[in-house]
Structure 1
């Protein structure tokens, strides 16, 4: 004789189900309504320095030649990283620069326990204290190099935080940003981004 169980529906009607189906339904209900059930949010990136679609302020603009900013890397916060995240990486890329675009910043090796960076984390030494490494940007300097487009139409800058499956991409300080981008892509579990604008 096949073992059966009864499940009470929301309408209080009794429905007879095979044991396996009943067990699976019970597990689903436990997952949905149990005391440890939590709704997972989407991996997201925010900043106190600017907001998506907004304009980059002078504090984050490059500080050489005819660009007169403070060249401070932006404050960034992120939450709800995917399960299995072992470290984070961040990049800032100008997709409107001529040719292949322009790398402004790439950093890897941010511990999985970190959920934010203060403003100026690049040049203040904050990142190096975490054990993170920064690439050589397209200004040919290590670390953050802020926006400094030629006069004309504003450029769009994509700031992305990546959740990675590895805690060690074997990247060294000062290697090209393009190399960082390649290694980051091999270990990405998920990403979140902001797009901001700046023109002169």
Structure 2
């Protein structure tokens, strides 16, 4: 399983457009080689280099397994087409909020896609990353990561 973006390559810098210094929209993502027995997907975007510890930028779950990616600029709404749900990030907002690190060394942004053996994680829209992690514990079939960098 893989997660890719046409906005940046794995290990490369995320363009400013997708950050708080730009228009802060989500980059287009592509999901490939999803395992056949996948019932749903979930996506977490986080910055492990934040001064306060791991900082969550995006939480998405109950993604049908036939979804092959997301277009650029996903709506910042709790409930999307096809029953896709978005949670609350550490900016205390629904949907994607991009990199916004303090000045200094580059931060790493992990786009983590997980394939699950359950169709619905049992959470309403607006869940936190920790609630999602607890709900999917024991249900992960596969995992893929895309890492982007950003510095201010």
Per the shorter chain, which TM-score range? Answer: over 0.9
Task: Give, in angstroms, the shift of residue 177 of structure 1.
Answer: 2.0
| Contact 2:34–2:65, Cα closer than 8 Å, also in 1 | no
Unaligned residue ranges in structure 2 (runs of 5+): none
The aligned residue for residue 10 of structure 1 is: none
Residues paired across the two proteins, number: 151
Q: How does 1:56-71 map to 2 (within 5 A)?
A: 56-62=14-20, 68-71=21-24
User: Which of these residues, 71, 75, 81, is aligned with residue 28 of structure 2?
Assistant: 75
The structure showing larger relative contact order (alpha-carbon pairs under 8 Å, at least 6 residues apart) is 2
Q: Distance in 2 between matches of 1:172 and 1:57?
A: 32
Q: Distance in 2 between matches of 1:185 and 1:120?
A: 29
Give the number of the structure whose alpha-carbon radius of gyration is greater.
1
| Contact 1:49–1:119, Cα closer than 8 Å, also in 2 | no
1:132 aligns with 2:84: yes
Q: Do the aligned partners of residues 44 and 132 (structure 1) sit closer, same or farther apart at CA in structure 2, a change above 3 Å counting?
A: same
Q: How does 1:83-122 map to 2 (within 5 A)?
A: 83-122=36-75
Q: Distance in 2 between matches of 1:184 and 1:57?
A: 31
Unaligned residue ranges in structure 1 (runs of 5+): 1-42, 63-67
Secondary structure at 2:133's aligned position in 1? helix
Task: Name the structure where helix makes up a greater proportion of residues.
Answer: 1
